[in-house]
Structure formats: C-alpha cells, structure tokens
C-alpha cells in the first residue's frame, strides 16, 4: 500500500509517497538485526494519523504479537507531559515558569542556599539546576515522593545554576510536587484529568500495576550474552513525573497531534505556551553535538520537556525514554508537520532500532537520499559491544586476585550518606560483598585501597557496569569513609559515605 499526503501544503512542503510495506520491512529488519523482540510505531503527517502498527512479540518466549494497542512504559517521554501540565497552570495564571520553587514548596532546601532561593520552575524543566542526576537513590532504594524533598538538601551542585546542562529526574519529580501543591491533586490525578482524558488517551495509565491489568502489554527485555531475555519491571512511583506513563501508539499519536497542530488544542494548552516548551532554554553543548554518531542529526539544547535539535537541516523536537527493558522515542519535524512515535521492548538495543527506523522513515517522507542507517547503527552497536566486552574481560582478570579474609575485615562495616542511605560491606565466602538497597555485588581488589564491583543494573542500558570504591584511612589505619563515583559518566563528584 502506498499513499501520498499533500493536502494544504505549499510547493516547498512536499512529502514523498509513503509505502507502508516498505515501512514494515524497515521495522522487521531492524528488530531482527538488533535482537529486539517487539516494537510499535505511529506516524502523523499534516495532522492526520496515517500509521499505527505493531511488530514482533510482547515477550520473547511467547507468541503474543505486539499490536497498535500494546502498552509500553514510555519512561522519560513523560517529561513533556509534566511540562505541559505546568504550562496549563501558566495559562490559567496560577503560576509562572520563572517563579521560584520555594514559592510553592517552602520547605524545599538544597545544600547551596543561593541555589535554593533562586531556583525556578523553568530551571527544573530545562535541566539547568546544576544538580547531577543521583539516580542510584531511586533505583536502589524504595522511597516515596514525599521523601524526595528532604533528600535533596544534601545534593552538592556539580556546577553553577544555569551554567551547564545536567539531566535530572529528581528535578522533574520536584516539578510534579509543584503541580500537586498548586492543583490540590496528585500528579497522577492531574495528568489523567487534564491531559489523558481530554485527549481521549483511553488506554494510557501511570503504574506498572495498571499496566499489567490491561490484557495487552509488553514485557521488558535486555540482551544478555547476545540473547534477548526478560528482566523485571521497574515501578517509578516516586519519580513518576519524570518517567511514569505507560501508553501505546494509538494514544501517543494523539499526543503528537497536539504538539504539531498547536492552534487546534486551545482548550488544552495555548499555542504560545506550546511554542515556549519547544524553544531552547538551555544549550547542551557550545557547539552542535552530533547524535547517533552522525552528521545528519544534532542535539543543540533543551526546551521544557523536549530536546531541541536539527535533522538534515530541519527543526527537530524530540525526546527519548529509557527504563529497564524498554526504549521509546517521540520525534517531531514541526515545520514539515511530521511526527513519529516508536516504542520498543528492549533497553539495551532498543535505542539502535529507534534511530535506524525513525531516520529511514524520515528520509523517505522528506524525499532525501537515505543514509544506510541500519548499517550505521549496527556498526555503532558492534563497536560499543566490543569495547564493553574488552573492559569486562580485563575486569575478570582482576577477579582472580584473592585477599586473605583477615585483610578484608578492616573494610567491613556500614557506611552512610544522608541522601543515599546505608552502604554495607561484609565478608561472604572469603569475598568482600557490597550491598546497597536492592543491589548486591562482589568487590575485587584493583589497587591499594580501591576495590571494583560489577553493578548489573547498568547492563540493561548497555552501560559499562564497573564502579570503583575508594577507601580512606585515618592516622591509625582505620577506614573511616568510602567514595563511590556513581556519577562517573557525568561531571559530578564522588558520593562520600561515612563509616557509622
């Protein structure tokens, strides 16, 4: 089947014929190449939903197909929903984006009091607070949203306010609390009443429990030893405003239409407010940062809940979402009135499927000579896998070094950080074992007073899972603190745990 959409287009807004059979081939080949069980895609052109379709399987070892109705967690694609909720409150005159956070959360406090007093709602939404992510807290510990505020007061800034892009899920949780204080509703209630129901996103919901109550949902997967396997679901309740929505392509294409046809949804959000959300608020890099290792696509900065960039010279408004076992993406070419949604059930290789499929479809619609995106993404994936394999093999060599049990005793004990909680070290089977929340790993000698451990929770994202732990001794030779660079992938200081 082939279709062309030229309605209401000027001559410079040409869209090439869309061959749905060719799209099917693109998606199926990408799933096979990158070993991803299933995906669903949605395509909007000229305010028309022209494609909503599922591919592959909901679960790798079961023959239940993904359909256009299959639910997936959309993870950080949720951030634009939270930003839009706040935009609605701006339209209603109840808040302003440049209001200080403490106006609505008086008990809010950070380690830096100047930052506490000057931090605005816009800063939260644009990831320009200067606070690093601190994700291990919500990943490893079971915390409630109400517990987030007291935890924040011990977060040391990684840089100054509005100086550097610092992606932060906790700041979006804080934005959700602002919504709760202003509306008198929970964030979940506000999302449902103000966005999901008005847009008739009837299948979408906001918890893993609700996801599983639907008969058609996808399971999470990651690649282990080149095999796709199921992994546990992760419920994000405490930070739902940063990533808690579950949806399908039927509903998400309705969300895309709102952002492409701004003037048609004045009853939900003013067009000027949507435009502000899609305008750069924070530069990600002083020079255009290439995405997908490609010169065709760039991330330039961040708006309010959206990444701002370019695709082959066209304005690109997008956001990805990644959580254990799932990767998703929403990408808009607003000047061309084109929007694309893709939901996948793999967090390790789903991102490669997304880039390959989205870029091929964009190229075909735009009538551009297509880069061999599948080959390009395969080369990128293979290089990353080789590097990770080599690193893990080198790490494995270090695991052969054994320490006398007596020598390990001095490292044992409980170490505490006021936000991160307790990090325990003990000896089991003549090995030093670290326990942090729900995570447990064996530590191996690396160098004097440094041990390394493999944090498998990171493998679901294809990230190097080795983290070093440094031990510090006093003049008596007793260990009194440890430092852990949880944020070693970003410009942030190690977290210091003091011995209890």
> What tens digit of pLDDT does each residue of 76-91 get?
999 999 999 999 999 9
Helix (H/G/I), strand (E/B), else coil: 111 = coil
Is residue 92 located within the same domain as residue 208? Answer: yes
pLDDT above 70 (res 372): yes
- Most confident range, picked from 148-152, 222-226, 234-238, 427-431: 148-152
Is residue 409 located within the same domain as residue 441? Answer: yes
Is residue 81 located within the same domain as residue 205? Answer: yes
Please, which pLDDT band fits residue 438 given cuts at 50, 70 and 90? confident
Is residue 360 located within the same domain as residue 414? Answer: no
Q: Which helix (H) or strand (E) holds 423?
A: strand 421-428
Q: Which of 486, 484, 498 has the alpha carbon at shortest distance from 417?
A: 498
Distance CA 70, CA 373 (A): 26
Question: Side-chain half-sphere of 36: how many Cα atoms within 13 Å?
Answer: 35
The rounded percent of the chain whose pLDDT value lies above 90 is: 73
Distance CA 248, CA 229 (A): 22
Residues 224 and 461: beta-carbon distance below 8 Å? no
Helix (H/G/I), strand (E/B), else coil: 25 = helix
Q: What is the pLDDT of residue 6?
A: 42
Is residue 181 located within the same domain as residue 230? Answer: yes
Residue 397 lies in a domain: no
Distance CA 374, CA 364 (A): 14
Residues 438 and 140: beta-carbon distance below 8 Å? yes
Is residue 119 located within the same domain as residue 92? Answer: yes
Is residue 409 located within the same domain as residue 378? Answer: no
Residue 5 lies in a domain: no
Is residue 424 located within the same domain as residue 350? Answer: no
Pick the last residue of a domain from 355, 386, 417: 386
Torsions phi, psi for 218 (to 5 deg): -95, 150
Residue 444, C-beta contacts closer than 8 angstroms, at least 6 positions apart: 395, 398, 399, 401, 451, 452, 453
Distance CA 299, CA 380 (A): 18
Q: Is 54 exposed, middle or buried (0-12, 13-18, 19+ CB in 10 A)?
A: buried
Write the DSSP assignment of 143-198 as a string of letters. Answer: --GGGHHHHHTTPPPSS-TTTS----HHHHHHHHHHHHHHHSS-HHHHHIIIIITT
Residues spanned by the domain of 94 = 20-386
Cα separation values, 336 from 5, 113, 259, 294, 322, Å: 12, 45, 13, 21, 27
Distance CA 241, CA 185 (A): 13
Look up the CATH number of the domain holding residue 439. 2.40.128.50
Model's pTM, two decimal places? 0.93
pLDDT tens sequence across 309-350: 999 999 999 999 999 999 999 999 999 999 999 999 998 799
Pick the last residue of a domain from 357, 386, 415: 386
Residues 340 and 362: beta-carbon distance below 8 Å? yes
pLDDT tens sequence across 8-31: 444 455 456 788 999 999 999 999
Residue whose token pair is 């305010």: 47
The rounded percent of the chain whose pLDDT value lies above 70 is: 91
The torsion defined by the Cα of 408, 412, 417 and 423, in degrees rounded to 10, comes to 90
Residues 84 and 259: beta-carbon distance below 8 Å? no
């Amino acid at each position: 089947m082939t279709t062309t959409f030229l309605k209401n287009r000027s001559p410079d807004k040409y869209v090439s014929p869309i061959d749905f059979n060719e799209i099917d081939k693109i998606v199926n080949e990408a799933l096979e190449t990158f070993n991803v069980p299933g995906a669903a895609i949605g395509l909007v052109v000229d305010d028309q939903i022209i494609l909503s379709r599922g591919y592959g399987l909901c679960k790798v070892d079961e023959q239940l197909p993904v359909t256009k109705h299959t639910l997936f967690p959309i993870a950080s694609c949720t951030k634009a929903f939270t930003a839009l909720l706040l935009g609605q409150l701006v339209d209603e005159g109840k808040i302003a984006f440049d209001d200080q956070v403490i106006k609505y959360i008086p008990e809010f406090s950070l380690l830096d009091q100047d930052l506490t007093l000057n931090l605005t709602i816009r800063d939260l939404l644009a990831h320009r607070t200067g606070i690093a992510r601190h994700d291990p807290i919500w990943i490893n510990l079971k915390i409630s949203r109400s517990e987030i505020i007291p935890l924040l007061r011990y977060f040391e800034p990684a840089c100054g306010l509005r100086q550097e892009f610092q992606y932060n899920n906790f700041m979006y949780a804080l934005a959700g609390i602002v919504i709760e204080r202003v509306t008198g509703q929970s964030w979940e209630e506000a999302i449902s009443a103000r966005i999901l129901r008005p847009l008739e996103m009837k299948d979408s919901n906001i918890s893993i429990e609700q996801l599983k109550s639907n008969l058609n949902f996808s399971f999470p997967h990651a690649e282990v030893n080149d095999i796709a396997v199921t992994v546990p679901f992760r419920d994000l309740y405490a930070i739902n405003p940063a990533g808690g929505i579950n949806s399908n392509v039927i509903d998400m294409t309705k969300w895309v239409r709102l952002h492409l046809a701004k003037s048609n949804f004045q009853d939900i959000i003013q067009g000027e407010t949507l435009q502000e959300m899609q305008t750069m608020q924070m530069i990600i890099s002083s020079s255009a940062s290439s995405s997908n290792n490609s010169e065709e696509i760039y991330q330039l900065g961040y708006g309010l809940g959206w990444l701002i960039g370019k695709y082959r010279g066209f304005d690109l408004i997008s956001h990805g979402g990644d959580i254990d076992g799932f990767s998703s993406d929403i990408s808009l070419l607003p000047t061309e009135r084109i929007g694309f949604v893709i939901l996948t059930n793999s967090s390790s290789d789903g991102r490669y499927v997304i880039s390959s499929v989205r870029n091929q479809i964009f190229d075909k619609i735009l009538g551009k000579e297509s880069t061999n995106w599948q080959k390009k993404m395969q080369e990128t994936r293979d290089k990353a896998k080789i590097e990770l394999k080599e690193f893990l093999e080198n790490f494995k060599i270090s695991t052969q070094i054994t320490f006398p049990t007596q020598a390990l005793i001095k490292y044992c004990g409980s170490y505490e950080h006021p936000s991160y909680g307790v990090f325990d070290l003990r000896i089991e089977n003549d090995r030093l074992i670290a326990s942090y929340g729900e995570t447990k790993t064996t530590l191996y000698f690396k160098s004097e007073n440094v041990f390394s451990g493999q944090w498998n929770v990171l493998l679901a994202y294809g990230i190097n899972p080795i983290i070093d732990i440094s031990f510090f001794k006093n003049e008596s030779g007793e260990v009194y603190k440890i430092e852990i660079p949880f944020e070693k992938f970003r410009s942030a200081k190690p977290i210091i745990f003091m011995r209890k």
